Amino acid sequence: MKTYTTLLFLLSITSLLGCSSTLPAEKASEKPIDVNNSVQQTYVIDVNNSVQQTYAVPTLGVVKNIPLISKIVQQKAKTENLWHRIPQGYGLSMHNHPRIQKSLDKYLKYPPYFKHLTRNARPYLYHIVVELEKRGMPLEIALLPAIESVYNPLVLSPMHAAGIWQFIPNTGNYFGLTQDKWYDGRRDIIKSTAAALDYLQSLHKLFNDDWLLALAAYNYGQGNLRNAIARNQKAGRPTDFWSLKLPKETSKYVPKLLALAKIMANPQDYQILVKPIANKAYFEQINLENQMALSLAAKLVDMSMEDFKHLNPGYKQGVTAPKGPHIFLLPIEKVSLFHQNLAKIPAKKRLALVRAASPKKKQNVHLLKHKIRKGDTFWSIAQRYNTTVSKLRKLNAMKAKSLKVNKFLKVPLRIHTVKSGESLWSIARNYRVSVNTLTRWNSLRKDKILRKGQKLKILVN
């Protein structure tokens, strides 16, 4: 519809300038049109360099040179596609190295990869591009998460690197990415992107403004790369990226990025179909004052938990942390809906949902060692300690049916700390056992008065 409107606007200008006015000639024949005739003429315009689209154009006068209009329409289509914006900001030196060609050939063997990449990148890519442009960094770096994680923030590597930029724990901590039981900043889209760009800029400066070395250091570690450079210096060899002896992964890392950048600049040249991504912001950040259950936030904007989690992957629990941050990313078109629906939820209900979604405190479970006596069986020991045979086997990693006398068997045990006002009767009722059982477990008399802070053994079922 936008393209159709643009075309009508261009043709209207032509008619206003006079029926004899034409656009500059460019290998196109005149096509006279009767101004008073209501019949529409149809023109085929190449919008994306590969897809032919047909538009019905109202008769507005003599129109020449449809190819030039086509070019203008193409340019508008390009500005609306983020993939076309990115190559305009490329800043890495283009090389024709065999390693780049090898990586390029591998990409071309798996066309579905680009569909997967585009789907994952769609919510995040615009934000990454804008942040790179603000810093004057090469826009090839917007493709780096494709190499690291295929833009999947939930990926966790064998080295425990997390997020679309794949920060390992120590590096994440160094760049201020909080990691606790509530939240992992390495997975937070906005914070991890800022940290990754900070890191890359520092590496760029460290390695004398050489982006290829900076990228290699991002993968290999700055200390390791310095050592590789020092070895070449000592041997009198060049110290550019292509001349360094690096691990297999790092030697492929930079060529992968350069090959991908080359394909994404002109995918049609490689017969690769890349679906467009809108050249506009996908999400907006909202800040809340209090804890909120993620399930409620998703429900308020009619999003699935899976989709909501991909925009807010930093949260590890079903609720934001008690002390914050209470920040969500939402699709821009849903922000107003979120605030409208949130205002309808009573504070008490919000709090109840927070409590229900909060992680439960770990039960104070310990292990007791039972010395196996003659005649003991898994069943008799399970009965004695108020547990099950399967739990005993799992806890002791035992598959054998028979037990060896004088060996020890681990038995689950919970420690209960007596609170003010508690009695043997109230504690026994809480754990659904009899007072006799509780006193037997703890070698106590029934008339024993408990003191605050006293520890009691509770055999777990």
| Per-residue pLDDT at 82 exceeds 70 | yes
- Please work out, in degrees rounded to the nearest 5, the angle formed at the alpha carbon of residue 86 by the alpha carbons of 83 and 91: 150
Are 442 and 457 in contact, with CB atoms under 8 Å apart? yes
What the block records as the tokens of 423 is 């009695």
pLDDT on residue 364: 57
**Which domains are seen in the chain, by residue range?**
2-80 (no CATH), 91-270 (1.10.530.10), 283-357 (no CATH), 365-459 (3.10.350.10)
For residue 75, name the pLDDT band (cuts at 50, 70, 90). low
Average pLDDT over residues 284-292: 94
pLDDT at 362: 58
Secondary structure percentages of the chain, helix, strand, coil, to 5: 45, 10, 40
Mean pLDDT, residues 90-105: 93
Of the two residues 285 and 364, the one the predictor is more confident about is: 285
Hey, what long-range contacts does 17-26 have (CB within 8 A, 24 or more apart)? 19/61, 19/62, 20/62, 22/62, 22/63, 22/64, 22/65, 23/64, 23/65, 23/68, 23/69, 24/65, 24/68, 25/64, 25/65, 26/65, 26/67, 26/68
* pLDDT greater than 90 at residue 223: yes
Task: Return the residue matching tokens 């990415």.
Answer: 177
What residue type is assigned to position 303 of the chain?
M
pLDDT digits (tens, 9 = 90+) for 141-188: 999 999 999 999 999 998 899 999 999 999 999 999 999 999 999 999
The predicted structure's pLDDT at residue 18 = 37
Please tell me whether residue 198 adopts helix, strand or coil conformation. helix
Whether the Cβ atoms of residue 372 and residue 408 lie closer than 8 Å to each other: yes
Residues 360-381 have a mean pLDDT of: 77
> Which residues are CB-neighbours of 202 under 8 A, at least 6 positions away?
none
Structure confidence at residue 94 (pLDDT): 79
In this structure, are residues 370 and 412 in contact, taking their beta carbons and an 8 Å threshold?
Answer: no
Our CA dihedral for 175, 178, 184, 186, rounded to 10 degrees, sits at -10
- Single pTM value for the model: 0.67
Distance (Å, whole) CA 88 – CA 129 = 11
DSSP string, 381-433: HHHHTT--HHHHHHHHT---SS--TT-EEEEEEEEEEPPTT--HHHHHHHTT-
- So what's the pLDDT on residue 460? 62
pLDDT (0 to 100) of residue 305:
94
- Under 8 Å between Cβ of 261 and 309: no
pLDDT in tens, 375-391: 888 888 887 777 788 88
Distance CA 256, CA 259 (A): 5
pLDDT band at 276 (very low <50, low <70, confident <90, very high): very high
CB 37 within 8 A of CB 87: no
Element (H, E) at 56: strand 52-57
For residue 165, give every residue at least 6 positions away whose Cβ sits within 8 Å of its Cβ, in sequence order, or none: 144, 145, 148, 149, 186, 192, 193, 195, 196
- Which residue spans within 232-272 are E strands per DSSP? none
Q: What is the pLDDT of residue 104?
A: 97
pLDDT for residue 251 is more than 70: yes
Give the torsion sign (CA, 40, 42, 45, 50). Answer: positive
Mean predicted confidence (pLDDT) in 106-124: 96
Residue 278: strand pairing partners: 81
41-74 pLDDT, tens per residue?
A: 333 333 333 343 333 434 344 444 555 555 555 5
Catalytic residues: 148
The whole-angstrom separation of Cα 254 and Cα 242 is 10
